[in-house]
Structure 1
Amino acid sequence: MKILCVCGMGFGSSLMLKMTADKVIKKKGLKATVEATDIGTAGSTPVDLILTNNEFASQLKGGKSEVRAVVNVASEEEVEKAINDFLESQ
Structure 2
Amino acid sequence: MKVLCVCGMGFGSSLMLKMTAEKVLKNKDVKADVEAVDFGTAQSVTADLILTNNEFASQLQGGQAFVKAIVNMASEQEVESAIEEFLNK
- Aligned Cα root-mean-square deviation (Å): 0.5
CA distance in 2, matches of 1:47, 1:56: 15
CA distance in 2, matches of 1:20, 1:48: 17
Number of the residue aligned with 1:4: 4
Q: How far apart are residue 43 of structure 1 and its match?
A: 1.1
Confirm whether residue 40 of structure 1 aligns to residue 43 of structure 2.
no
Equivalent residue pairs, number: 89
Q: How far apart are residue 16 of structure 1 and its match?
A: 0.3
Ranges in structure 2 where 5+ consecutive residues have no aligned partner: none
Confirm whether residue 88 of structure 1 aligns to residue 88 of structure 2.
yes
CA distance in 2, matches of 1:33, 1:24: 13
Ranges in structure 1 where 5+ consecutive residues have no aligned partner: none
Give aligned-pair identity as a percent.
Answer: 71
Number of the residue aligned with 2:62: 62
TM-score if structure 1 supplies the norm length?
Answer: 0.97
Give the letter aligned to residue 28 of structure 2: K
Q: How far apart are residue 24 of structure 1 and its match?
A: 0.1
CA distance in 1, matches of 2:17, 2:76: 9
Give the letter aligned to residue 13 of structure 1: S
Give the letter aligned to residue 61 of structure 1: Q
CA distance in 2, matches of 1:44, 1:81: 26
The DSSP-based 3-state class of the residue aligned with 2:50 is strand
Number of the residue aligned with 1:49: 49
Q: How far apart are residue 31 of structure 1 and its match?
A: 1.1
